[in-house]
Amino acid sequence: MEILERLRAANPDLRLYSVFDPEFAPYGRMIKLPAEDALADAMDKTPIPESGNCYVASLPELEALEAVRAAERTVYGGMELQAGYCNGRGFTLNAEEYHKCSEVNFSTTGLVLLLALPGDLRDRRLDAADAVGFYLPPRVAVEIHPLVLHFAPCRVQESGFNCLVLLTKGTNAPLPAVNTGAEGEEALLWMRNKWLICHPDSPQAAKGAFVGIRGENRVLKL
């Protein structure tokens, strides 16, 4: 892929693959969603901010789509879903999160996901060097396995990215309280069904999230 080769040349210190490569298997799998044209049209209508990223957990226009209703049955076994998006122009690792459900992503712009495996997290800490980049081409749907660490995608062009986010309903909703000083995994619990670690230089650290990423913050260069 031309885009992937360009990104590899610009980021020689980052392991970069395509979601079509066998290296993706421990992190997730490709899935087929029906009525892809309607899904793509809906995603093209979601705004990309001029800077940074924006996340909308639940958007009725997306949740009404046949593709989302089908995913409830075929991917999530009848569990109620929320369908939203993460769009933006971000290009840094900053943080990693995991859920105890899978997450479906789909894009019409293409993007890179910076992922890490549950086993890479040791004593609630992750080395930034363990993050691996996976290029998700336009109009390809993937299911990220539960517990796989991920966060906001990275753009692969200056115009930014859009990314559909399907999760079980209620994920990423606020908690009554968080306790980042707690023992064990509870210290990472940042929102409902969202365990988060962040880099000390990140905006998330400034908000009080658990600092658990060591090393130089990853940056995806174009």
Helices 66-74 and 36-44 pack at an angle, to 10 degrees, of 120
Of the chain, the percentage scoring pLDDT greater than 70 comes to: 100
What confidence category does residue 183 fall into, taking pLDDT thresholds of 50, 70 and 90?
Answer: very high
Which domains can be identified in the chain, with CATH numbers? 2-171 (2.60.120.10)
CB 98 within 8 A of CB 69: no
- Average pLDDT (55-82) is 97
Q: Shortest CA distance to 126 belongs to which of 101, 155, 97, 152?
A: 97
The bridge status of strand 194-198 relative to strand 95-98 is antiparallel
Which tens digit of pLDDT belongs to each residue from 93-118?
A: 999 999 999 999 999 999 999 999 99
Q: How far apart are CA 84 and CA 87, in angstroms?
A: 10
Q: Output the pLDDT for position 1.
A: 72
CA 70 from chain centre, in angstroms, equals 21
Element (H, E) at 173: none
What confidence category does residue 173 fall into, taking pLDDT thresholds of 50, 70 and 90?
Answer: very high
- Average pLDDT (173-191) is 97
How is residue 104 written in tokens?
Answer: 């479906």
CB 165 within 8 A of CB 105: yes
How is residue 155 written in tokens?
Answer: 């753009």
The bridge status of strand 103-106 relative to strand 164-168 is antiparallel
pTM for the model stands at: 0.97
Q: How far apart are CA 45 and CA 32, in angstroms?
A: 21
